[in-house]
A and B are shown apart, each in its own frame.
Chain A
Amino acid sequence: MTALDISSATAAQVINALETGAVSSQEVTQAYLDRIESLNPKINAVVTTDHEGALAAAAAADQARAKGAGGPLNGVPLLHKDIFCTAGLKTTCASKMLANFEPPYNATVVQKLNAAGVVTLGKTNMDEFAMGSSNETSYFGPSFNPWDLERVPGGSSGGSAAAVAAGLAPLSTGTDTGGSIRQPASLCGITGFKPTYGRISRFGIIAFASSLDQAGPMTRTVEDAAVMLNAMCGLDTNDSTSADVAVPDFQQALQGDIKGMRIGLPKQYFSDMLNSDVADSIRAALKELEAEGATLVDVDLPHTREGIATYYVIAPAEASANLARYDGVRFGHRCDNPADLMDLYARSRSEGFGSEVQRRILVGTYALSAGFYDAYFKKAQQVRRIISNDFKNAFEHCDVIAGPAAPDVAFPVGAKNDDPIAMYMEDVYTLSVNLAGLPGLSVPAGLISGLPIGLQLIGRPFDEETVLRAGHRLQLRTDHHLKTPQLGADQS
């Protein structure tokens, strides 16, 4: 395929090639499948590949295109994080507990993207049950950063980030509970977006923390993300937390300048603690936005640090209940020869869940238990409201809030496994955004010693448009998002 260099292609370029007839969907799908086969062993980003299903979908897409029909993403290959239920296709959540689980239903997001015409290539690796920031807790082994195979891709949507970075698919989906789209996007040099809580239906997404989880696109460009968002967003009456808010045309929203846009810089994000290389990259990106007419203002997010503690009470608590359904009775792993009910539960769960998942269930159970509920869970819920109010106050003075998406570039595999707090600190800039339910974007802001770092832009509730427009402006001026890692395979 000479028309398209899939190692670096954006979805827009794939669509263009399909529309001009330079390639067919079947050809491009086969090309991506071949690339997965040759490169995935190095990065372990993809855990299930659906050759048959993908080629069948591609054929159907080509037929539709021939008739002049087909959705906006017709025939474009895509990978789903293995947390989205795909009917008839294994959905494991990277856990032994669900290693052989084939859902009898599609997640709403999967359905909507199918309707838009995507070709699902397979499912990507992740931290087990979305609990982690490095993709090291997966039952299927860690995923590796295509920029440096000894380093993590971030997590929990590490596989999706690594896959897009390595050109295994032009589009992927992720979920973000405390930063799980934005942080891996930052570490892998791609674009990742978590919309406002309630924008995208959670129906059919395996739940981690119900009041924090949100799905989102992981792509090379903001433009591709916008097209995906148009397909993914919208009220779903199957999800009580799905917001009844009109979906704008996010692609349209990218048009227009950002003159006069006020960009808030929380002084807590730019403290002395921030790595100076990271600070330089972020400031350089901000200069680009200033050149586009935006102004920088100082804002205050006084409870940034407490956000970590707040998150690490609420998320495990909700998760401890969400994961109680995995008991070996109706689906999932069951231990051999259970002696009695207690044995069935204890062994199935202890065998099925990895150690990080078990630890978080314990923390969550503890935080809700008698005598501790007020001091831990209720207290955290109160601080959550305070953090949400902090953002409201900050947005009195600015239109978006900016900062690093992660404290540093990708770290070596195994480097942060001894101290849980060290791992949790990875998400210091992202967690509070989930607590407040705000939209957050991570866009590539350059390389530091050959490793990517991302700029995070945070917006008001349901104001994705402002955030996306700012991110898009940056990508019109810079080429960080076009850089790709050298993985050594031949491109064809």
Chain B
Amino acid sequence: MSVTTEDVAQVALLARLSIPDETMEDVTGRFTRILELVAELQQVDTDGVAPMSNPHDMEQRLRVDAVTEENRREELQRPAPAVEEGYFLVPRVID
């Protein structure tokens, strides 16, 4: 199965990546190679086999409902590129 540069562009949009035109061919080529590898999976008979998410089929532990985190805003916002009055800033979004 091969993909076109349009397919790759569409996927890039979903992933919020912008692929420069000059590398598009290369990316598409590598993509195609990987899909060729992945196509091997179709040969495996998986009828009735349950998908595996966690290797040990563990069950979720539950946490007691209690407040254990205090306000550490200043510390946690230190790595932020743009903060004002406690808000993280991004370019204006219009709904």
Contacts and interface: CB of A to CB of B under 8 A. Distances in A.
Asked whether any CB of A lies within 8 Å of a CB of B in the complex, the reply is yes
Interface of A: 101-104, 197-198, 211, 237, 240-241, 243-244, 303, 305-306, 308-310, 312-313, 320, 324, 327-332, 334, 338-347, 349-350, 353, 355, 358-359, 361-363, 365-367, 369, 375-376, 378-386, 388, 419-421, 424, 435-438, 461
12 contacts: A197-B56, A211-B55, A310-B41, A313-B38, A324-B16, A338-B90, A343-B91, A346-B18, A362-B15, A365-B11, A385-B49, A385-B50
Contacts, number: 166
Interface string B51-64: 11111101011010
B65 interface: no
B51 A384 contact: yes
Q: Most chain-A CB neighbours within 10 Å: which of B8, B30, B76?
A: B30
B18 A347 contact: yes
B90 A341 contact: yes
Given A332-B79, A334-B82, A461-B56, A327 B16 contact: yes
B58 A198 contact: yes
Contact of A303 (B34, B44, B53, B79): B44
Contacts of A313: 38, 41
B67 interface: no
Nearest to A327: B16
A343 B82 CA distance: 16
Q: Name the residue in B3, B34, B75, B92 with the highest tally of chain A Cβ atoms < 10 Å from its Cβ.
A: B34
B74 to A, nearest CB: 10
B17 A361 contact: yes
Contacts of A345: 16
Contacts of A378: 51
B66 interface: no
Contacts of B3: 366
Residues of A contacting B: mostly:
helix
Interface in B3-35: 3, 7-8, 11-12, 14-19, 23, 27, 30-31, 33-34
A312 B55 contact: no
Interface of B: 3, 7-8, 11-12, 14-19, 23, 27, 30-31, 33-34, 37-44, 46, 49-56, 58, 60-61, 63, 72, 75-82, 88, 90-93
B63 to A, nearest CB: 7
Nearest to A245: B56
Nearest to B48: A382
A350 to B, nearest CB: 5
A306 B41 contact: yes
A363 B31 contact: yes
A235 to B, nearest CB: 9
Contacts of A244: 61
A437 B44 CA distance: 21
Given A104-B72, A240-B61, 19 more contacts: A102-B79, A197-B55, A197-B56, A243-B58, A305-B40, A309-B40, A309-B41, A329-B81, A332-B79, A334-B81, A338-B90, A340-B91, A341-B91, A355-B23, A362-B12, A378-B51, A382-B52, A383-B41, A388-B55
A245 to B, nearest CB: 10
Contact of A344 (B12, B54, B90): B90
Given A197-B56, A240-B60, A366-B11, A331 B79 contact: yes
Nearest to B54: A211
Contact of B61 (A237, A365, A379, A385): A237
A101 B81 CA distance: 11
A362 B3 CA distance: 12
